[in-house]
Amino acid sequence: MPDHLPRRQVLRTAGALGLGAAAAGALTSTADATTRTTGTPDRLAAMGEHHGKLEIRKDPFGTTPDGQGVDVYTFTNGRVTISMLTWGATIQKVITPDRRGRNENISLGFDNLPDYAALSPYFGATIGRYGNRIAKGRFTLDGTTYQIPINNGENALHGGTIGFDKKVWKAEVVKSGKAVGVAFTYVSPDGEMGFPGELTSTVTYTLDKRDNLRIDYHATVAGKPTIVNLTNHVYFNLLGEGNGTIYDHVLELNAAKYTPVDVNLIPTGEIAPVAGTPFDFNRPTAIGARLRGDHQQLIFGRGYDHNFVIAGQADHDGLRLAGRFTEPEHGRTIEVHTDQPGVQFYSGNFLDGTFLGIGNKAYRQGDAFAFETQHFPDSPNHPNFPSTVLRPGETYKSTTIYSFGTK
């Protein structure tokens, strides 16, 4: 999802958070020294000296202008290491080995809180209350029309101007003999960003001994019905963040259909076949192989920024393969399974080199991909799409698994 905000929108967002244009001075990074010392791949990977040893630690990461402390949780199985922030329940780092055992952070992010607050195009964030776009920020539920703040052209994106990605979540360590991680909880009051009902969301991230990062979403609403579409917006580069483009990454995407969009990247309502189009990744294909074509849909999104309809039968856990990514040079792979009906594949089209990430690396167009498991964009305005309505007494549940490996 582009999830790039124009500079003027960044400043408006920063102002709404009480940051102003000089966000770096308004937020204090109490853990800068700790992050820079312990945040290297070698030190983080060394937390678990033997594959299969599950460990977790918490460190301070910064403080918001209103005095809320933000922490970073780092958990490992001795091979894969994940760092997550309570700010936005955000995946900051994912450190994995290549086929020769060399560790790299393959997730885009920042090493300080001010940049996350003022600049981040949703790097690694948990997205809510509604992931993806809602046309003109408007939807009608049970005869009442609701307005979400516009923050992406004429549309609402990822929950409006201050979504779940800009909230400090409560965190609780989760650890068993098989997995380790963190359960994040946020309570969104009735009317926040224009959404009805008080929504309580818990998103649990756990890493097991087989290099699977599991994300379990759980939400309930009180008072009024609402709409919900939670996802995570991690940006990956299997070469290592800041180490080049993802155009040579090979993608196998389990989808026979996709939802075409208009010039504003809002679905037209059609569910179209991918066959014969640049959207057909049913056979493994390099991401960049067809990006320079003149297909109108690619022009609209400056590349891939589209929802795909996941195909196939679910397994006994209700999960289906959504896609596989392989980086041929160093051999890292990611396989994604989910119970969601769709996935937004975004090829990093709006990264423009102005984002300086971890290690002061510039992130440019095509330097990462996002693969956001989800219900379809703008679903409340398309009755033929799977419903995203959640009513009091019901429970929203969803699971996505990222499996890391080598080939």
| Strand 332-338 versus strand 235-236 pairing type | unpaired
Structure tokens at 131: 């992931």
Spatial distance between the Cα atoms of 346 and 356, rounded to a whole number of angstroms? 20
Structure tokens at 269: 């309502």
Spatial distance between the Cα atoms of 44 and 124, rounded to a whole number of angstroms? 18
**Annotated active-site positions, please?**
233, 372
Binding-site positions for beta-D-galactose: 132-133, 233-235, 305
Binding-site positions: 132-133, 233-235, 305
Structure tokens at 120: 């981040």
Structure tokens at 330: 């160093």
Three-state SS for 74-103 is EEECCCCEEEEECECCEEEEEEEECCCCCE
3-class DSSP state of 360: helix
CB 119 within 8 A of CB 362: no
Spatial distance between the Cα atoms of 402 and 157, rounded to a whole number of angstroms? 24
Spatial distance between the Cα atoms of 233 and 126, rounded to a whole number of angstroms? 6
Structure-derived torsion over alpha carbons of residues 15, 19, 21, 27, reported in degrees to the nearest 10: -160
Phi/psi of residue 122, nearest 5 degrees: 70, 30
3-class DSSP state of 367: coil
For 27, left (φ over 0), alpha (ψ -120 to 50), or beta?
Answer: beta
DSSP result, 29-49: -TTHHHHHHH-SHHHHHTTSS
